């Protein structure tokens, strides 16, 4: 058999695996791979401006298409720059494969030029990682890496390839299907547990479905089944930040997001429910609040493909270790077979309607300033009116929470946000990745004035590849989320949370060949948004919003769901040391 170089084997594998785009940045230790790419025009390479950008682009691509995102970076600083995005993908269960160059095998350990212990550094921020020392093993490792990244609980997998392994040759044969010796994710739930789950659901008087990112990880079938389950049981549905879109926001059964900045009705319903069905969510501390007061009178069923998510923070009564789609389809089938009818939940819904009547997402308006919530609501209605497929990404902060609260998502894979790591600098590159994967969609990054500066260099990338992404900055001249916490817990001592020396975002856009738009007051809002949507090519919008708005509702850290704050008048401005010690 003819031999191929390690670099050619890698590229061959990527093609066999259906990879059509790679986000990367060259350097000495990956030059052989870049040379191989030169001859394989079928794989599109997106040249980023910073390796962190490449990782978030890969995440955005992955979350919006359901396919793994692929990153290619050089050794040393290339690899270390990628670490934040790799960790982000681990926390949010995003399938990603990262190829890093490494110094030649005989140089490893000698503090060679641009040597970093990439495997050591990324061991605990990847789902798995590999150092490949033999080109003959490369093909199997690459195929295995994609298998591990995309199955079970998805996550980032890194393959470190020394430069001499890229140059040396070996025979290449496309590997057979992966039958891994020790890695075997459990797909189907125990049938006995399914029976118990159905009985518990049928007996519930105050059920609630708490769905999460795992529904989106599981795929479109899981989303469909979630809707079907809600339909046949009549149960209300809430979701985590990561799960938005899996259940349609337009459904009357939708309660809105739960947790720290979730709605009054969803948090109270969680608190008063007698049965919680957790579907692909992980009882994160932003969701549970004070653990000993979390849903105290409920029985809990947890569907999760990762056994370590079960009983990690909240103990549940019934665990279904399974893929969401498989477990939901088994539950629905058995529910129907047993002839269960929708229970009479009228009383439960009446209570929920009582909580809804508090209208927890309302906000005050004075006509002089743009309220950030209004900007999101208008953005939502204007984009909806276009009839286009809309994908929203966010940075991290208040704007992210307002987007989660005021933008309605009716389908999965349209909402891309950094939940677990909360990475400022995620949203804009994620939008570029999403646009690469969805050329015809309207992709908008909702940003804050501080976050957007963390990967703003990627404006050049969008220009280079003619990607018509839109950046919509809610410019409050503050790191608003930090300022809000300082207001609430440090008696308004605004230590280093003012965004001083902001650039002129309009001129900055123009410098990169973008269109820049400034929206200064409520009367300009609608037209500004319209102009953004109608302008072909990339657009950056500097939307000046009220500077000191706070994001409500809010469950202060360490508090119970029932201690939710609905508006600033309930804020005391100080906090105990115990509460201060929690993030």
Partner 1 sequence: MMHIQEEHKERHVLSLTVANEAGILARIAGMFTARGYNIDSLTVADITDDHAISRITIVTSGPPKVIDQIIAQLDRLVPVHKVTDLTDNGPYVERELALVKVAGTGDDRIEALRIADVFRAKVVDTTIESFIFELTGPTEKIDTFVGLMRQLGLVEVGRTGVVGLIRGKEAV
Ligand X SMILES: Cc1cc2nc3c(=O)[nH]c(=O)nc-3n(C[C@H](O)[C@H](O)[C@H](O)COP(=O)(O)OP(=O)(O)OC[C@H]3O[C@@H](n4cnc5c(N)ncnc54)[C@H](O)[C@@H]3O)c2cc1C
Ligand Y SMILES: Cc1ncc(C[n+]2csc(CCOP(=O)(O)OP(=O)(O)O)c2C)c(N)n1
Residue facing ligand Y at closest CB distance: 448
Asked whether 301 and 263 are in contact (CB, 8 A), the reply is no
Our CB check for partner 1 shows the closer of 13 and 131 to be 131
Strand boundaries in 408-524, DSSP class E: 415-416, 442-448, 470-475, 515-519
CB-wise, 333 or 581, nearer to partner 1? 581
Residue with the two structure tokens 């990338």: 461
Contacted by 482, from ligand X, partner 1, ligand Y, none: CB < 5 to 8 Å by type: ligand Y
Residues 376-435 that bind ligand X (CB under 6 A): 396, 400-401, 419-420, 422
Residue 163 falls in the annotated catalytic set: yes
Which among ligand Y, partner 1, ligand X, none contacts residue 383 (Cβ within 5 to 8 A by kind)? none
479 binds, among ligand Y, partner 1, ligand X, none (CB under 5 to 8 A by kind): ligand Y
Q: How far apart are CA 9 and CA 31, in angstroms?
A: 15
**Number of residues written out for the chain:** 583
Please give the Cα distance from 11 to 15 (Å, whole number). Answer: 6
By CB under 8 A, residue 569 contacts partner 1: no
Structure letter (DSSP) for residue 68:
P
Place of tokens 């009882």: 283
Inter-residue contact 147 to 156 (CB < 8 Å): no
Nearer to ligand Y, 49 or 224 (CB): 49
Q: Six-digit token pair at 383?
A: 């984009």
214 sits near ligand X (criterion: CB under 6 A):
yes
481 in active site: yes
Q: If binding is defined by CB under 6 A, does position 481 make contact with ligand Y?
A: yes
- Residue 364 C-beta: closest distance to ligand Y, Å: 18
Q: Rule CB under 6 A: which of 416-455 touch ligand Y?
A: 422-425, 448-451
User: Do the beta carbons of residue 289 and residue 560 sit within 8 Å?
Assistant: yes
10 Ramachandran zone, left/alpha/beta (phi>0; psi -120 to 50): alpha
Query: In angstroms, rounded to a whole number, what is the distance separating the alpha carbons of residues 397 and 423?
Result: 9
Q: Please tell me whether residue 128 binds partner 1 under the rule CB under 8 A.
A: yes
Tokens found for residue 187: 């797909």
- x/- binding map, residues 140-179, to partner 1, per CB under 8 A? --------x----x--------------------------
342 is catalytic: no
Q: How far is CA 456 from CA 52, 221, 503, 509, in A?
A: 11, 36, 11, 10
Tell which one of 323, 369, 378, 542 touches ligand X (CB under 6 A). Answer: 323
User: Do residues 382 and 529 lie in contact, with contact meaning Cβ atoms separated by under 8 Å?
Assistant: yes
Residue 18 region, left (φ>0) first, then alpha (ψ -120 to 50), else beta? left
* 282 lies in the site for ligand X, by CB under 6 A: yes
Site membership for partner 1, residue 182 (CB under 8 A) = yes
Smallest distance, Å, CB 488 to ligand X? 14
Distance from C-alpha of 80 to C-alpha of 55, rounded to nearest angstrom: 11
Within residues 146-205, the interface with ligand X by CB under 6 A covers: 153
Q: Which residues pair with 376 in a beta bridge?
A: none
Residue 478 binds: one of ligand X, ligand Y, partner 1, none (C-beta under 5 to 8 A by kind): ligand Y
Q: Is 260 in the site for ligand X (CB under 6 A)?
A: yes
| Active-site annotation holder among 127, 163, 414, 470 | 163
**95 φψ region: left (φ > 0), alpha (ψ -120 to 50), beta (else):** beta
Query: Which of ligand X, ligand Y, partner 1, none does residue 323 bind to, with CB < 5 to 8 Å depending on kind?
Result: ligand X
Q: Residue 518, Cβ neighbours under 10 Å: how many?
A: 16
Closest by Cα among 86, 92, 78, 89 to 47: 78
Nearest approach, Cβ of residue 207 and ligand X (Å): 19
Nearer to ligand X, 70 or 258 (CB): 258
CB of 481 to ligand Y, least distance (A): 4
Among 61, 146, 380, 478, the residue binding ligand Y under the rule CB under 6 A is 478
Burial of 207 (0-12, 13-18, 19+ CB in 10 A): buried
SS3 198: helix
347 catalytically annotated: no
DSSP strand pairing (3-5 vs 169-171)? antiparallel
Q: Residue 53 binds what, of ligand Y, partner 1, ligand X, none (CB under 5 to 8 Å, by partner type)?
A: none
- Which residues, 6 or more positions from 369, have their beta carbon under 8 angstroms from its beta carbon? 521, 522, 545, 546
Stretch 285-344 residues interacting with partner 1 (CB under 8 A)? 306-308, 310-312, 315
Nearer to partner 1, 292 or 534 (CB): 292
Residue 553 interacting with ligand X (CB under 6 A): no
Q: Is 472 helix (H, G, I), strand (E, B) or coil?
A: strand
Annotated catalytic residue: which of 42, 44, 113, 520?
A: 113
Q: How far apart are CA 533 and CA 519, in angstroms?
A: 14
Maximum distance among all Cα pairs of the chain, rounded to whole angstroms: 76
Kindly tell me which of 34 and 415 has the beta carbon lying closer to ligand X: 415
Catalytic site includes residue 341: no
Residue from 398, 435, 438, 557 touching ligand Y (CB under 6 A): that is: 398
| Residues at the site binding ligand Y, with contacts judged by CB under 6 A | 395-399, 422-425, 448-451, 474, 476, 478-482
Catalytic residues: 51, 113-114, 163, 481
| Residues at the site binding ligand X, with contacts judged by CB under 6 A | 92-93, 153, 212-214, 217-218, 240-243, 257-262, 280-282, 284, 286-287, 303-306, 309, 323-324, 396, 400-401, 419-420, 422, 481
| Residues at the site binding partner 1, with contacts judged by CB under 8 A | 119-120, 123-124, 127-128, 131, 148, 153, 180-183, 306-308, 310-312, 315, 576-578, 581
């Amino acid at each position: 058999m003819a031999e191929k170089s390690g670099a050619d084997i890698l590229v061959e594998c990527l093609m066999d695996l259906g990879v059509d785009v790679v986000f990367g940045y060259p350097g000495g230790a990956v030059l052989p791979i870049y040379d191989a790419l030169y001859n394989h025009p079928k794989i599109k390479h997106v040249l980023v401006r910073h390796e962190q950008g490449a990782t978030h682009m890969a995440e955005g691509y992955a979350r919006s298409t359901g396919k793994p995102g692929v990153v290619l970076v050089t050794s040393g600083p290339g690899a270390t720059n990628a670490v934040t995005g790799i960790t982000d993908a681990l926390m949010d269960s995003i399938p990603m494969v990262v190829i890093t160059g490494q110094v030649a095998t005989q140089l490893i350990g000698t503090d060679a030029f641009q040597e970093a212990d990439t495997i050591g550094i990324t061991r605990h921020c990847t789902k798995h990682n590999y150092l490949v020392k033999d080109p003959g093993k490369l093909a199997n490792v690459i195929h295995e890496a994609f298998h591990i990244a995309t199955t079970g609980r998805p996550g980032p997998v890194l393959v470190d390839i020394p430069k001499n392994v890229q140059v040396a040759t070996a025979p290449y044969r496309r590997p057979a299907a992966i039958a891994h010796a020790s890695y075997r994710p459990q797909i189907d739930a125990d049938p006995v547990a399914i029976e118990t789950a159905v009985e518990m659901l049928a007996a519930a008087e105050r059920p609630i479905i708490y769905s999460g990112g795992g529904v989106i990880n599981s795929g479109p079938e899981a989303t469909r089944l979630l809707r079907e389950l809600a339909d046949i049981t009549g149960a209300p549905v809430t979701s985590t930040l990561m799960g938005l879109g899996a259940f349609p926001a337009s459904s009357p059964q939708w309660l809105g997001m739960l947790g720290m900045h979730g709605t009054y009705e969803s948090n109270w319903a969680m608190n008063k429910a007698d049965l919680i069905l957790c579907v692909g969510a992980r009882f994160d501390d932003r969701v549970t609040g004070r653990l000993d007061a979390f849903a105290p009178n409920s029985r809990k069923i947890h569907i999760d493909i990762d056994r370590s998510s079960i009983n990690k923070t909240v103990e549940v009564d019934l665990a279904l270790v399974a893929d969401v789609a498989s477990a939901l389809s088994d539950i629905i089938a058995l529910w129907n077979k047993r002839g269960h009818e929708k229970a009479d939940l009228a009383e439960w819904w009446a209570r929920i309607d009582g909580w809804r009547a508090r209208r927890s997402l309302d906000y005050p308006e004075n006509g002089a300033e743009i309220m950030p919530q209004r900007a999101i609501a208008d953005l939502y209605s204007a984009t909806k009116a276009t009839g286009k497929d809309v994908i929203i990404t966010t940075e991290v902060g208040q704007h992210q929470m307002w987007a989660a609260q005021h933008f309605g998502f009716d389908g999965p894979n349209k909402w891309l946000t950094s939940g677990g790591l909360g990475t400022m600098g995620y949203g804009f590159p994620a939008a570029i990745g999403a646009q690469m994967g969805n050329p015809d969609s309207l992709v908008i990054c909702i940003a804050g004035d501080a976050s957007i500066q963390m990967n703003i260099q990627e404006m050049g990338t969008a220009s280079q590849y003619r990607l018509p992404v839109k950046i919509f900055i809610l410019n409050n001249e503050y790191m608003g989320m930090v300022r809000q916490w300082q207001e609430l817990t440090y008696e308004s001592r605004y230590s280093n949370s003012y965004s001083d020396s902001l650039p002129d975002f309009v001129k900055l856009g123009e410098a990169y060949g973008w269109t820049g738009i400034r929206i200064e007051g409520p009367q300009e809002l609608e037209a500004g948004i319209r102009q953004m949507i109608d302008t072909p090519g990339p657009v950056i919008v500097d939307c000046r919003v009220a500077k000191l708005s706070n994001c409500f509702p809010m469950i202060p850290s360490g508090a119970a769901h029932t201690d939710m704050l609905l508006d600033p008048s309930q804020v005391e401005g100080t906090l105990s040391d115990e509460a201060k010690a929690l993030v």
